[in-house]
Amino acid sequence: MSTASTRLPEGRYGRTSDERADRKLKIIGSVLGVALLGLVGWFGYHYVVQNEISAEVISFEPGKESVKVHLEVRKDAGATGYCTVRSQAEDGSVVGRAELRFTGDATVIDKVFTLRTTAPGTTAELQGCQAD
């Protein structure tokens, strides 16, 4: 006695619904992946190219009522804006904050300033810079 096969002959009736669904998911996934990659590239380009002011804290000296901060700012000639610097206490609470404005044609500005604090500050942290 022989057993009858219940499988359909291959290639005779086209693709199954699972194969069609897999193909659609691959296409949708590829389109979304390319769109996401393009979006990340666009944001990255604008962050690097459009950022006219950047800075870094070179050094700082903590004190009881203030922190002496040495800040170096790099900017485009003629760009104006400000940088925000903060100081934190040993427990992490913010004890001082200052916004320093920059104008003029100089492209590199070295600034040493005193950041007043409400308690002994242990850090000087650059929070960011904004162009006007």
Q: Is pTM beyond 0.75 here?
A: no
pLDDT means over runs of 10, the chain (132 residues): 65 70 90 95 79 86 92 87 92 92 88 92 91 82
* Token pair recorded at residue 42: 């666009």
pLDDT of 102 reads 87
The amino acid occupying position 25 is: L
Q: How far apart are CA 56 and CA 69, in angstroms?
A: 10
pLDDT of 50 reads 66
pLDDT of 116 reads 93
Q: How far apart are CA 89 and CA 108, in angstroms?
A: 30
Helix and strand element counts for the chain (H, E): 1, 6
The dihedral through the CA atoms of 109, 111, 117, 121 has a sign that is positive
pLDDT of 3 reads 63
User: How do strand 81-88 and strand 66-75 relate by DSSP bridges?
Assistant: unpaired
Are the C-beta atoms of residues 131 and 80 closer than 8 Å to each other? yes
Q: How far apart are CA 83 and CA 101, in angstroms?
A: 7
pLDDT of 9 reads 67
Q: How far apart are CA 26 and CA 67, in angstroms?
A: 57
